[in-house]
Amino acid sequence: MSESGRAAAPPASHRGASEANGRAATPRAGATRLAAAKTPRDAPSVFRSILFDQPEPTAGVDDAATPAFFADLQLDRVVGSITKGREEYDLVPLYRAPLHSVATINYRHEVFRDLENKTVLDDIRSFATKLRWMRRHRALVGKLHFARQQQRWYLRAVEDYCDAVKCLAGDLSKARLRSHGMLAFRVYLLSYATSPAFTTLVEQTTKVANDLVGLQYNLHIKGNRITVTSYNDQADQGAEVDETFARFKQGAVKDYRVASPAGPADMNHVEAQVLDLVARIHPEPFRALQEYCANTSAYTDPTILTFDREIQFYVAYREYLERLERPALRFCYPRVSDGSKAIRARDAFDIALADKLSGDDETVVCNDFQLDDRERVFVVSGPNNGGKTTFARTFGQLHYLAALGCQVPGNEAQLFLFDQMFAHFEREEDLATLRGKLEDELYRIHEILEVATPNSIIIMNESFGSTTLQDARLLGAKVLERITQLDLLCVYVTFVDELASLNEKIVSMTSMVDPGDPTMRTFKLERRPADGRAYAAALAQKYRLDYDTLKAGVAR
pLDDT digit string, tens, across residues 13-29: 333 333 333 333 333 33
- The Cα 507–Cα 491 span in angstroms is 10
pTM greater than 0.85 (yes/no): no
- What is the rounded average pLDDT of the residues 336-357? 96
- What is the rounded average pLDDT of the residues 189-194? 96
What domains, with CATH codes, occur in the chain?
326-531 (3.40.50.300)
Whether residue 258 is predicted with pLDDT greater than 80 in this model: the reply is no
Model pLDDT, residue 1: 40
> Of 313, 317, 260, 415, nearest to 93 (Cα)?
313
- The Cα 123–Cα 480 span in angstroms is 52
Model pLDDT, residue 274: 85
- What is the band of 530 on the pLDDT scale with cuts at 50, 70, 90? confident
Query: Which residues 6+ apart lie within 8 Å of 535 measured at CB?
Result: 382, 383, 513, 518
Q: What is the pLDDT of residues 472-511, one digit of tens each?
A: 899 999 999 999 999 999 999 998 989 999 999 999 999 8
Model pLDDT, residue 231: 81
Model pLDDT, residue 544: 65
Query: Residue 77 burial (CB < 10 Å; 0-12/13-18/19+)?
Result: middle
Q: What is the pLDDT of residues 435-486, one digit of tens each?
A: 677 888 899 999 999 999 999 999 999 888 778 889 889 999 999 999 999 9
Whether residue 34 is predicted with pLDDT greater than 90 in this model: the reply is no
Do residues 369 and 348 make contact, with C-beta atoms less than 8 angstroms apart? yes
Whether residue 12 is predicted with pLDDT greater than 50 in this model: the reply is no
Model pLDDT, residue 11: 39
Percent of the chain beyond pLDDT 70? Answer: 84
Whether residue 114 is predicted with pLDDT greater than 70 in this model: the reply is yes
Model pLDDT, residue 430: 57
Q: Apex CA 505: angle with CA 501 and CA 510, to 5°?
A: 50
The length of the chain is 556
Model pLDDT, residue 224: 84
Whether residue 196 is predicted with pLDDT greater than 50 in this model: the reply is yes
Query: Which residues 6+ apart lie within 8 Å of 102 measured at CB?
Result: 336, 337, 338, 417
Whether residue 276 is predicted with pLDDT greater than 80 in this model: the reply is yes
Model pLDDT, residue 548: 72
Model pLDDT, residue 28: 39
